[in-house]
Structure 1
Amino acid sequence: MAMGGIRLTVRLALFSAFLLTTALIAAACLLAESVSRRAINRAPIARFCFHGASRCLGLRIRLQGTPAARPVLFVSNHISWSDIPVLGGSVPLRFLSKAEVGRWPVIGWLARQAGTLFIVRGGGRAREARQEIASTLCGGQSVLIFPEGTTSTGLTVLPFHSRLLQAAADANVAIQGISIAYTRQGRPDHLAPFIGDDEFQSHLPRLLRQPAVDVTVVFHPPAQMGADRSLTEVVEQVQETVAGGVRQIYRERAIEAGRDAGEPVRQQA
């Protein structure tokens, strides 16, 4: 069996075993809630499960910056479905995701267990979603949305849609931008992006067959809205910050690769 096939088999086995463990944890939470008649805070449990899933998928994660200690509306550029376990394993939060993700195998199940807020596109549901986001923020939990509205190649950041970001003003919390980028040997990775008509069932094995991909996540300083700053101005600022962060990640990884070019490249399975 070729190395790619071995790598795929091992990672799928590890991921399946971890998924079973996660299912047992979720069942234990449901049983405990039923017996005690009290809701359990699943944020730290979800973070543990997302982090474990990222490790099983062969994602090497590097975190930069500091997530806000108080509830904030996180906004990030969006490259792949793998953004969900990467970011969910990096900081306690709840996601806003399109309803289709909830029907995906594995990732959709994990997202539901983590308390993801699902939105049905169209039909005037944006206002309803905004109210749910604001309610979650007021309840003391941070929420993450992908304001580009779709995934991209990761080379650029698409324009942000501001309608849902109004929830930050409704809940009187700051907006914290996040930049995420995938690289291999200092170059932007072309396998991680989940774009176009690609399907999860075919994208997952392609990603797992390859050596580990490096994922850099940068938490930028929070931006607060006020009487002298409109939502549009804040959204534009955050978008520019996120885009600048992505460019900086690629520059730094390229410099590192150049500095280490004379040394053997070590890959993590």
Structure 2
Amino acid sequence: MSLLRFVWRAWWMSLWVLGGLLTLSLVFPWLSQQARLAVKRFWARVLIRLCGIKLSVSGHPPEPGPVLWVANHVSWLDIFVLNHVRSTTFIAKHEIRHWPVLGWLVAGADTIFIERGVRHAVHRVGLAMENRFEEGQAVGLFPEGTTSTGFDVLPFYANLYEPARRMAVPIQPIALLYSHRGQRSDFASFVGEESLMQNLWRVLGTTGVSIEMVFLPVMAGNTLGQHKRNELASLTRQDIRSVLLRSPGA
């Protein structure tokens, strides 16, 4: 860990986040949807670089067209990592909206928030997902409902698979593998009672954090009707889990 490294990265990251907030407020209202998506992707790419994260991609992310991306959830970085590949609308727990600064950015970037325990919340989120699919967008879902260490996956919630199943939108599982200095690691994971600032201190103050994005075979939209949503959740979980468990260090 390096205090100087943390201060340097935090300074530039803060400036970039401030620029993002100004862009959301002053520029986004005047942009077309395609331009907004391009800005989101560019912004995420720069943020990941400023954080000192090394990324690698294997597999074939589909582009363009609607798709439901289903991924394991390790860190606040996940949203920006996937936006690095393709601008994506994410479904996130409502609590993220109240994160300092990053919560404002996530909210302004067309995130769909779900309030757990609120009646009809899943229905409202489903309608929002359908709207994004109709626009040809990618929607990102973390079906674990929370973060984990990245060595395995928790059980998947199946309710939010239904909009993709009903609209015959392709579903693609994605495995996110985190490493630190060449070894699979939970160093950057954001779990338990740790605060966002504590996690930022650890991630920005070190070197050698890398993330591999493994894009697994797509489940074609015209085959989804053969499965119930619980089966889709189980199949995608198995695909992701098989990558996490067979990788070195798992």
Fold shared per TM-score above 0.5: yes
1:48-63 equivalent positions in 2, closer than 5 A? 48-63=42-57
- Distance, in Å, in 2 between the alignment partners of 1:244 and 1:39 is 36
Provide the secondary structure at the position in 2 that maps to 1:73: strand
Residue 101 (structure 2) aligned to one of 77, 94, 106 = 106
- Distance, in Å, in 1 between the alignment partners of 2:14 and 2:228 is 47
Residue 3 (structure 2) aligned to one of 2, 5, 13 = 5
Q: Does 1:127 align with 2:123?
A: yes
- Distance, in Å, in 2 between the alignment partners of 1:231 and 1:26 is 35
> How many aligned residue pairs are there?
245
- Distance, in Å, in 1 between the alignment partners of 2:210 and 2:170 is 29
Deviation for aligned residue 1:228: 3.2
Change (3 A) 1:50 1:104: same
Change (3 A) 1:220 1:10: same
Counterpart residue number, 1:240? 238
Counterpart residue number, 2:200? 204
Q: Does 1:115 align with 2:110?
A: yes
Provide the secondary structure at the position in 1 that maps to 2:97: helix
- Distance, in Å, in 1 between the alignment partners of 2:186 and 2:30 is 43
Render the CA deviation track for 1:101-134: whole Å, top value 9, x for unaligned. Answer: 1111232122122211111111221122122112
Counterpart residue number, 1:153? 149
Deviation for aligned residue 1:180: 0.2
Structure 2 unpaired stretches of 5+: none
Residue 185 (structure 2) aligned to one of 171, 186, 189 = 189
- Whichever residue aligns with residue 177 of structure 1, its letter is P
Counterpart residue number, 2:27? 29
Residue 80 (structure 2) aligned to one of 74, 77, 85 = 85
Deviation for aligned residue 1:140: 1.4
Counterpart residue number, 2:37? 43
Provide the secondary structure at the position in 1 that maps to 2:212: strand
| TM-score (ref. length: structure 2) | 0.90
Q: Does 1:74 align with 2:69?
A: yes
- Distance, in Å, in 2 between the alignment partners of 1:194 and 1:39 is 31
- Distance, in Å, in 1 between the alignment partners of 2:50 and 2:70 is 25
- Distance, in Å, in 2 between the alignment partners of 1:228 and 1:128 is 25
Render the CA deviation track for 1:166-223: whole Å, top value 9, x for unaligned. Answer: 1101222011101001102332223211111111122111221111301111111111
- Distance, in Å, in 1 between the alignment partners of 2:28 and 2:162 is 33
Render the CA deviation track for 1:86-112: whole Å, top value 9, x for unaligned. Answer: 112221210110111111123212212
Mapped contact 1:81–1:194 kept (Cα < 8 A): yes
Deviation for aligned residue 1:61: 0.6
Structure showing greater radius of gyration is 1
| TM-score (ref. length: structure 1) | 0.84
Mapped contact 2:89–2:110 kept (Cα < 8 A): yes
